[in-house]
C-alpha cells in the first residue's frame, strides 16, 4: 500500500469529507498511474492546506475522455445534483484540465472511501 498526496479545491474537498462525493476525477498522468486499489490518498484543502482528509482507493476506472467518464456513473458520485447536465460537468472540469492534456493522458475516475 502506498500513500499519495493530492490537493483539492474547497468544494470537492468538502463533498468528499461529507461523504457526498466518492469519485475524484483526474488526468491519468504519470503520477496518477502509480495509484493502485487499497492505496491511501491524503487530500489537502487548497484554501486551508492544514485541513486534510484520508481516503482509501476502492476502485479505478480509466477512460479516453471526460465525456465517457461522466457518462458512466450517476452524477451523485461526483457530488453533483441531477440538474447538472453532461456539458456543464465537462465545462467545470475544463477550468482545470485542457482538452489537449485530456487527449494526451486520458482520464481517471478514482473511487474513494473516507477512512
Are 53 and 5 in contact, with CB atoms under 8 Å apart?
no
Q: What is the pLDDT along the chain (115 residues), one digit of tens a residue?
A: 999 999 999 999 999 999 999 999 999 999 999 999 999 999 999 999 999 999 999 999 999 999 999 999 999 999 998 899 999 999 999 999 999 999 999 999 999 999 8
The grid cell for 82 is: 441531477
Helix (H, G, I), strand (E, B) or coil at 62: strand
Q: Number of structural domains, the chain? A: 1
The CATH number given to whatever domain includes residue 23 is 2.30.130.30
pTM of full prediction above 0.75: yes
Which domain does 90 fall in, by range?
A: 3-114
pLDDT score for 91: 95
Which helix (H) or strand (E) segment holds residue 103: the answer is: helix 99-105
The pLDDT assigned to 81 comes to 87
* Per-residue confidence (pLDDT) for residue 54, from 0 to 100: 98
Amino acid at each position: 500500500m502506498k500513500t499519495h498526496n493530492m490537493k483539492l479545491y474547497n468544494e470537492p474537498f468538502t463533498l468528499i469529507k461529507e461523504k457526498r462525493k466518492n469519485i475524484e476525477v483526474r488526468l491519468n498522468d504519470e503520477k496518477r498511474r502509480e495509484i493502485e486499489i487499497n492505496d491511501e490518498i491524503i487530500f489537502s484543502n487548497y484554501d486551508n492546506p492544514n485541513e486534510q482528509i484520508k481516503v482509501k482507493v476502492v476502485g479505478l476506472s480509466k477512460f479516453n475522455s471526460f465525456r465517457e467518464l461522466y457518462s458512466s456513473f450517476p452524477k451523485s458520485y461526483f457530488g453533483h445534483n441531477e440538474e447538472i447536465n453532461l456539458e456543464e460537468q465537462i465545462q467545470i472540469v475544463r477550468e482545470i484540465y485542457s482538452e489537449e492534456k485530456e487527449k494526451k493522458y486520458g482520464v481517471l475516475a478514482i473511487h474513494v472511501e473516507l477512512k
